[in-house]
Structure 1
Amino acid sequence: MSTAGLVLGPADLRAAADRIASHVLRTPLLPGPPTTGSGTSLLLKAEHLQVGGSFKTRGAANAVLALGADRVVTGSSGNHGIALARLARTLGIRLTVVLAAGAAPAKAAAIRALGAETIGVGGGVAEREERARALALETDAAFIPSSDHPLVVAGQGTAGAEILADAPDTETLYVPTGGGGLLAGVCLAAAHHPVRVVGVEPAATPRYARSLAAGRPVRLPPSTTVADGLRGQYPGAVPYPVIRDRVDDLIAVGDAEILAAAALLRRYGVDAEPSGAVALAGALRAGRRERAVAVVSGGNTPARLHALTSTRAERLDRADGHLTGAAQ
């Protein structure tokens, strides 16, 4: 799909919400920890309770259902691949997931347990995406990237729309930022709302902060971070202009801050993977007295993935059924 001259808007989010309604959960807002010494607390958008364990199911479902392809190729750090693999199994789609060096083995195992094929490549996210695009062309498959696609961005934006519908007085939204699909989607949801939108990046991969400072997309070298889902090396063609025109701030957080935020979430009963704790780390670093929401973007921890894959993919449906009950 060409993205030249593409303009996404609220109508795309509404269409996405209608399209994916039967495949995703409307996740709750949970009480979170204080962010300042005064005791000011924030809410947590509980996407760790989402079907497939992360917000990625929203964008994956919107793209798969809209495109109607019978064969799909993607590049993923793990959660997008898991989301697509669940959908592919349900819809009878053949799926191949290209994984870069450093991808979490437990996530790769979960993708295979769901019936998808995985292919490993050397290098970083950029090399992964290049191989996935080439493979899609070679096999006449639909290429559905993890963030750089209008249907994916619109699907991810439904999380932001839910937040603003459930907590319209929110002053600031903290959003974990890797490829930028979720941040761009939230920016779309907040297009006509006075809420501040803050993207939070791992300090090792501040690709959006550097790109906005340079006034153009900047490509970074491969990097390592405990937030394995946020290792994107460059802004996507679809998310970049949306983020450029709407984001209010970008914050970088180090691995120690991310791990501390994940530990804090566990004390509040939220079992998030490091990538899912990045937004909270940003809110803690900001330390503002405000009505805020941080997106807990994923809960595919090693323990959860091991529990799921140890009994094969058949048990995933039972696990999500339990999460559905918890979220309602």
Structure 2
Amino acid sequence: MPAPRTPFARQCLAARDRIGPLIRRTPILTDPDTGIHLKCENEQVTGSFKARGALNALTALGPGAVVVGSSGNHGIATAWAASRLGADATVVMTEATSAYKRNRIRRLGARVITCAGGNNARGDRVAEIAAATGAVPVSSYDHPLVVAGQASVGFEILEQLAGATTIVVPVGGGGLLAGVAAAVEVAGRRVRVVAAEPRAANDTALSLAAGRRIEIDPPVSVCDGVLAQTPGAFTFPLIRRLVDEVVEVGEDEVLAAMQELAVLGLTVEPTGALAFAAARTLPAAAGTVAVVSGGNVEPAEFRRLTGASRYPARP
């Protein structure tokens, strides 16, 4: 692996080494119908890739109180990491977020506060709590330590699949996308990085087209994990420089991908099927990997969306 050339590149490598013993090296499976490889972060600790960034951030920051905004998975991951490290965690969520995810966060010992409005209003509430209590705000996507932790997904893919040619990554605020793209750059591999975004929540596509961060109204999509209203201030420059393409995906395409993954025995939430949905629209090519980002979905909702007669057991 080439020597890292920037402080952030070194931070990504440090994160990989720091969290490696504490997270799962998730498997790569292959969809037999399309040949698309699936990086199964739905089998990660806490059920999503978010465990990587949250654990890296809280470990590096040390003991103390943190406050985060989350649609669910970052909150679950932060609560889990805080419980391991003896930290105090508060999670701010909009009123529209999943009760299933809110309850998981509470069971892990974190405090949950709900607010009206979209993700921007949630961010304002996080800032208010941080100012009032001294808790450290840790963005779900726009924090260097979080992005560095997510880069470990990219490092693993490149180590597990020597023939990787394209990595398709879901994007909301851009933490996972920026991290994977940074890992590809650090590794010096000629691998295309493609963003997958809901057509109904396409702030990244609009921002890249405009050459600047665009803010959209609070979006509505079945992909509740990627409802950012604007790309992150830290992540957007990385995405603009390192990402090759954005594929916008319709709601029906996401649900069809989710159903296909269920047939393969994978419990995947809608956002977790987003990259696979996008990958299925690309020209067939060997070495295409879709990051299945998470599997935290309430069992009855999973059955409703997929038509599955059973809820696959999580490893």
Which residue of structure 2 aligns with residue 17 of structure 1? 16
Which of 207, 212, 216 aligns to 1:211? It is 207
* TM-superposed deviation, 1:33: 4.2
| 2:52 pairs with 1:61 | no
Distance 1:278 1:305 in 2: 17
Which residue of structure 2 aligns with residue 109 of structure 1? 103
| 2:77 pairs with 1:83 | yes
Which of 105, 112, 126 aligns to 1:132? It is 126
Name the SS of the counterpart of 1:276 in structure 2: helix
Which of 212, 217, 221 aligns to 1:225? It is 221
Where do 1:142-221 residues align within 5 Å? 142-191=136-185, 192-221=188-217
CA contact (8 A) 1:33 1:268 kept: no
| 2:297 pairs with 1:298 | no
* TM-superposed deviation, 1:201: 0.4
* TM-superposed deviation, 1:8: 5.3
Q: Deviations over 1:177-231 (max 9, x none)?
A: 1110000001101112110100000111111110011010000100111110010
Name the SS of the counterpart of 1:234 in structure 2: coil
Which residue of structure 2 aligns with residue 314 of structure 1? none
Q: Letter of the aligned partner of 2:114 in structure 1?
A: G
CA contact (8 A) 1:110 1:305 kept: no
Distance 1:128 1:33 in 2: 41
CA contact (8 A) 1:71 1:94 kept: yes
CA contact (8 A) 2:59 2:85 kept: no
* TM-superposed deviation, 1:258: 0.5
Distance 1:13 1:75 in 2: 23
CA contact (8 A) 2:63 2:85 kept: no
Distance 1:148 1:12 in 2: 15
Which residue of structure 2 aligns with residue 4 of structure 1? none
Change (3 A) 1:104 1:8: farther
Q: Deviations over 1:238-292 (max 9, x none)?
A: 1101100010000111111111100000111111000000000000122433321
Q: Deviations over 1:44-68 (max 9, x none)?
A: 0010000000000000000000001
- RMSD between aligned residues: 1.6
Change (3 A) 1:24 1:304: farther
* TM-superposed deviation, 1:113: 1.2
Distance 1:102 1:182 in 2: 23
Report which stretch shifted further, 214-223 or 295-304: 295-304
Distance 2:129 2:236 in 1: 25
CA contact (8 A) 2:255 2:270 kept: yes
Distance 1:305 1:188 in 2: 34
Q: Letter of the aligned partner of 1:180 in structure 2?
A: G
Distance 2:196 2:92 in 1: 26
Which residue of structure 1 aligns with residue 251 of structure 2? 255
Where do 1:240-279 residues align within 5 Å? 240-279=236-275
Change (3 A) 1:12 1:232: same
The number of equivalent residue pairs is 298
Where do 1:115-126 residues align within 5 Å? 115-126=109-120
Q: Deviations over 1:57-105 (max 9, x none)?
A: 0000000000013111000000000001111122221111000131111
Which residue of structure 2 aligns with residue 286 of structure 1? 282
Q: Letter of the aligned partner of 1:43 in structure 2?
A: H
| TM-score of the superposed pair, with normalisation by structure 2 | 0.91
Q: Letter of the aligned partner of 1:24 in structure 2?
A: I
Q: Deviations over 1:119-176 (max 9, x none)?
A: 1111101110111022112100111110000000000010011001111221110101
Which residue of structure 1 aligns with residue 29 of structure 2? 30
CA contact (8 A) 1:94 1:116 kept: yes
Please, which runs of 5 or more residues in structure 1 have no aligned partner?
1-6, 36-40, 307-321
* TM-superposed deviation, 1:304: 9.1
Please, which runs of 5 or more residues in structure 2 have no aligned partner?
1-5, 303-312
* TM-superposed deviation, 1:305: 10
